[in-house]
Amino acid sequence: MIRAQGLVAAHPGGPFMAFPDVDLPQGGVLLLRGPSGSGKSTWLALVAGLMSPAQGSLTVADTVLAPVGSSSPVGAARDVWRARHVGLLPQKLHLSAALTVAQNLALVHWAAGVPAQPHQVDDALAALGVADLAGSRPHKLSVGQVQRVALARAVLLRPPVLLADEPTASLDDGAARAALALLLTTARQSQASLVLATHDARVVQALQQAQLEEGIFLKEMCLQRNAEKRGQL
């Protein structure tokens, strides 16, 4: 779940950004719309605990991130919290070129400070149909394969919140549809809340269709390009 009220972000030296309130129950899908530059990535950074808001309250996966209280993870504890609770699919689906696909997934265990679990890696790759790529280097993968591997990495520790930043950018219609279906299915299988940040009309359409046909819980949040003006304090 994600609950945000009166959230204001401040980039060091930059303008303030105010965001609309949101209350997303566990397992719901949030469509975060807005043109590029409207603050979608900043909002994702706040929810992922990569940034602290200047104002407002924010609770993600039953953890109060702001205002900072006694139970709020700070410093290294916040990194550990993120590893366990938030699966991130950044716009640039970066896989480490120095490592094989399986090792890229094992990186999650290393980063989270948990013992290596090769079976979990195998299972995650198999669930996304890319088990046979385990030993491959990332540069040999197609765009679609990279997406599946990155998704496998994001859900490896079964985080309750999954954040995807422009997951369909630079994909053709067919691939975009497949990527979206993959995201929805994967999120549903692990009962994760899913946030899709996009300015892609195809995604909006497809999600609205899925709401009608499959009955997913869908919320929308629209950001304006001039969000920072609204937030001028």
Give the footprint of other proteins on this chain (CB under 8 A): 41-42, 44-45, 48, 50-51, 75-76, 79-84, 88, 90-92, 94, 96-99, 103, 106-113, 116, 153, 165-166, 169-170
Minimum CB distance to other proteins smaller for 25 or for 225: 225
Please, which residues have CB within 8 angstroms of residue 90's CB and are 6 or more apart in sequence? 165
Cβ nearer to other proteins, comparing 116 with 212: 116
What is the C-alpha to C-alpha distance for residues 27 and 219, in angstroms, rounded to an integer? 11
Residue with smaller CB distance to other proteins, 112 or 216:
112
Question: Considering the complex, what minimum distance in angstroms separates the CB of residue 110 from other proteins?
Answer: 5
Nearest approach, Cβ of 214 to other proteins (angstroms)? 28
Q: Is 150 helix (H, G, I), strand (E, B) or coil?
A: helix
Nearest distance from C-beta of residue 79 to other proteins, angstroms: 5
What 135-141 contacts at long range (C-beta under 8 Å, 24+ apart), as own/partner pairs, is 135/100, 135/101, 135/102, 136/100, 136/101, 137/97, 137/100, 137/101, 138/95, 138/96, 138/97, 138/99, 138/101, 138/104, 139/97, 141/95, 141/101
CB closer to other proteins out of 50 and 218: 50
Task: Compute the distance between CA of residue 108 and CA of residue 112 in angstroms, rounded to an integer.
Answer: 6
- At its nearest, how many Å lie between other proteins and the CB of residue 123? 17
Residue 168 vs 193, nearer CB to other proteins? 168
* Nearest distance, CB of residue 30 and other proteins, angstroms: 16
